[in-house]
């Protein structure tokens, strides 16, 4: 059976009741892995509380940070500070310079672009080439497709169609996530996969973007963050304690 992941549940982390409600809803809808974005300086206690909630419900949980740097220097500083604190690092690219730097940096997992300002979507062939070399993924949030109406939705669909085809051609992994802020905007993985048909992504790719791509990414990052990791393919098998 496929394991589905939603790597962007925008839960107000201070409200534990709402968090619990949305996490149990995700489990009910058939997800087995969820990721919640935290502020950069989050207390470990809060993360542990949410981990406990997920464990009780039977869901795998990954920590995520959304970096919004103003320039490429700030991006590098943020990556240096926070890469080892979170399992997933996403970068919101507000300028082309940030987008290019984020795409070629191997520490960046996810590239995010604005859904309201179409001039700030910089995912073109060059960006895709950089991203495919650095194993960064393109994130497509699906809740804006539900919320936007008329021309803004038409515009978003046409841009997503272009970006999805570029990503498929350049073999950049696409990650489909909800970006849901409340439980009413949450949908099951099969429903999201059907929504992807609106921008001409094949159903098989949609399922890959909802299950395989996010799971592989989280698995890879967990391995890198483990204390036994040395380099890709090399890990410490055992430690000898010397007196």
Partner 1 sequence: MIKREKRRYLALKVETEQPISEQEVFSAVQESVIRLFGEYGISKANLRFIKYIQENGQFVFRCSHVMLDNVRAAITSIISLNGKNVTIHVINVSGTLKGLNKKQKSMIS
Residues that bind partner 1 (CB under 8 A): 29, 145-147, 184-188, 190-192, 194-195, 197-198, 203
Q: Could you tell me if 208 and 215 are in contact, meaning their C-beta atoms sit under 8 angstroms apart? A: no
Nearest-approach distance from CB 158 to partner 1, in angstroms: 14
Burial readout 183-212 (b: 16 or more C-beta within 10 A, e: otherwise) = beebbebbebbebbeebebeeebbbbbbbe
Nearest-approach distance from CB 114 to partner 1, in angstroms: 21
CB atoms within 10 A of CB 118: 13
Nearest-approach distance from CB 212 to partner 1, in angstroms: 20
CA 235 to chain centre: 26
Nearest-approach distance from CB 180 to partner 1, in angstroms: 11
Token pair 């098989």 in the structure block, residue: 204
* 25 vs 100, beta carbon nearer partner 1: 25
* 29 vs 91, beta carbon nearer partner 1: 29
* 42 vs 185, beta carbon nearer partner 1: 185
* 82 vs 190, beta carbon nearer partner 1: 190
Nearest-approach distance from CB 13 to partner 1, in angstroms: 23
* 86 vs 192, beta carbon nearer partner 1: 192
First to last CA, the chain: 49
Give 182-231 as a DSSP string. SGGG---HHHHHHHHGGGT--HHHHHHHHTHHHHHHHHHHHHHHSTTEEE
Token pair 């979170």 in the structure block, residue: 86
Nearest-approach distance from CB 187 to partner 1, in angstroms: 5
* 50 vs 176, beta carbon nearer partner 1: 176
């Amino acid at each position: 059976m496929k394991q589905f992941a939603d790597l962007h549940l925008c839960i107000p982390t201070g409200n534990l009741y709402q968090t619990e409600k949305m996490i149990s809803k995700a489990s009910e809808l058939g997800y087995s892995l969820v990721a919640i974005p935290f502020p950069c300086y989050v207390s470990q206690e809060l993360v542990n509380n949410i981990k406990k909630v997920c464990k009780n419900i039977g869901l795998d949980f990954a920590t995520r940070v959304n970096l919004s740097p103003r320039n490429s220097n700030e991006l590098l500083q943020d990556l240096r500070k926070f890469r080892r604190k979170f399992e997933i690092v996403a970068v919101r690219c507000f300028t082309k310079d940030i987008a290019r730097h984020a795409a070629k940096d191997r520490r960046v997992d996810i590239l995010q672009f604005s859904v309201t300002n179409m001039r700030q979507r910089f995912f073109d062939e060059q960006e895709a080439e950089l991203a495919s070399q650095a194993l960064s993924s393109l994130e497509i949030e699906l809740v804006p497709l539900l919320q936007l109406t008329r021309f803004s939705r038409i515009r978003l669909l046409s841009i997503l169609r272009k970006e999805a085809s570029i990503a498929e051609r350049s073999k950049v992994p696409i990650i489909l996530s909800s970006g849901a802020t409340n439980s009413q905007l949450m949908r099951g993985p099969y429903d999201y996969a059907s929504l992807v048909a609106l921008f001409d992504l094949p159903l098989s790719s949609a399922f890959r973007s909802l299950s395989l791509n996010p799971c592989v990414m989280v698995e890879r990052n967990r391995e890198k963050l483990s204390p036994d990791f040395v380099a890709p393919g090399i890990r410490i098998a055992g430690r000898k304690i010397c007196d």
